Structures are given as structure tokens and as C-alpha cells.
Amino acid sequence: MNAQVSKPDHIFDRDREWEGLVRFATSDQTNARLGIVSGRRRQGKTYLLDAVATAFGGFFFTATDSTEADSLADFGRALADFDGLGSGGAGGGRYAFTDWDEALRRLFGTVGQGIIVIDEFPYLMKASPALPSLLQRALGPRGYAQQSRARLLPSGSAMSVMGKLLSGTAPLSTWLFSRRDDPGRPRRVLSLGEAKWDKVMNMGHLERLRRARDLLAVKGYDTSGTKLACYSGAGFAPELVDLAAADPAILLVGLDMLYA
């Protein structure tokens, strides 16, 4: 258990889940900005995430099955409350957003650190299909989320929907982690990864990562120590498993590792 942020007494069991969330929130990897939480209803997921947001002074919002306009209005009220401007503060107002791009800009401008939890995220995706793409842009190397140190945790009970955020050509399925150790040297790419929730990953996925790594090298990035990471909820082809066993630069992360 993380000694700095102990699990609240009112959270029963869930030690492993709490430790994982604390590791995510306190990681020294500045590019580790997004985590995705999914699970069946009535298993305590919302209760746990609310406690994490409270422990780290973060923002918590639960979506409902509403239109985009109603969801934006609810989100604006919740963010204003967090900022001390809503019904819980002196202002008695709310932020009025015309779209999710505007809302996300205000979100990352308001929440400077800690955890941002958006619970029942599939409801927002249902009304606003472009939302994952907007998040990808916000969290990108030049995105406006860079003004904040907060880390985002979309959560949902519709496990198939949450899984698809990390499958196929989904906007949030491929991530680059890099670091600049010396301003005078090229930015070093620590890891380049791709996630597939519902597909067995094979050599084709690895080759795509290799091509992306080579392209980054041509653009001036230092890829000499880049780890190629494959994340899959459905497993890996035998030839890929054999190759990863012999090559430490290839990392395979399956459900057994995620939930070990």
C-alpha cells in the first residue's frame, strides 16, 4: 500500500485496485496522462473512483444518458462547483459550453493537478461520438491538456464500449511516451505502444510499431532504446510471444499482467 495516500477506511477491500490507482496518480512519468477504468455495475467502481478523486484533490463527474446539450450543461455546473463558482460556492453559476472542445479546454485550464474522473463515459460518447478524438488531441504533445498536470480517468460500466476505446483504429489506441533529458540532444522515445482490446495481436501489429519508430528516427527523435509495447485484451499470436521472449525491446501486456 502506498504509504503517502492510504486507502480510506470506508472503502472495503479493493486494496489492489486502490494501489493501482495511486500508482497512476503518483507516477513520475509525465506522459502517463490517461487511464481507462471499466467494470460491471454495482461493484463499487464509482465509489472507489470518487474516493481517489477526493484523495488527490481532483475533479469527479458522473455522466447521464442525456443529449449533448444537457450533458454539457451538467458538466458546466459540476466544473463551476469545483472552481467555487457554482451552487456550492459564492458565484451560484455555471460554465456555459457550446461544445466539448470548449469544455475540455476549460477543464484542463481549471484542474491543474490530481485526478480527473469522468464516470459513465459511454453516455457522453453516445451523444458526442467525436469526444474520444477531442481527448486525443487535447492529450497530444501540443494539446491544451499540457497546461495541466492532472491525469484523466474515463470510466464506464459498458465494458464493450470502454474496451473499444483501445481497439482497432480508435483515437486512443496508440500512444507515444518520450522524454528530453538534455535540451541540446534529441528527444528520447521511451516507448511506442498500440492497444487492441478485442483482437489477438500478431506480427503485423509489431511491424506497424517498427515502422512508426523508424519514421520518428528519421524526424530526429532518439529511438535507440525505444521499447515497442503491445497491449491486448485478447492475447498474442505464438510467433509474437516467441519473439518477445527473445527480445527485451518488445513488451507484451495482456490481462494477466494488468490484473496480476
- pLDDT value at residue 62: 94
Structural domains of the chain sorted by starting position, each given as residue range(s) with its CATH number in brackets? 12-161 (3.40.50.300), 173-260 (3.40.1350)
Q: How far is CA 123 from CA 37, 98, 131, 198, in A?
A: 14, 18, 11, 21
Q: What is the pLDDT of residues 27-51, one digit of tens each?
A: 766 666 777 777 666 666 788 888 8
> Averaged over 77-84, what is the pLDDT?
90
Share of the chain above pLDDT 70, in %: 78
Q: What is the pLDDT of residues 141-155, one digit of tens each?
A: 778 888 888 888 888
Using an 8 Å Cβ cutoff, are 186 and 218 in contact? no
Residue whose grid cell is 491544451: 144
- pLDDT the model gives residue 51: 85
Q: Give exposure, 4-38, as e/b (b: 16+ Cβ within 10 Å).
A: ebebeeebeebeebbeebbebbeeeeeeebbbbbb
Grid cell of 6 as nine digits: 492510504
Longest CA span, the chain: 62
pLDDT at 41 (0 to 100): 67
Q: Which cell is 203 given?
A: 506480427
pLDDT for residue 161: 61
pLDDT in tens, 168-184: 455 454 555 555 556 67
Confidence of residue 127 (pLDDT cuts 50, 70, 90): very high
The arithmetic mean of pLDDT across residues 189-203, rounded, is: 85
The pLDDT > 90 percentage for the chain reads: 31
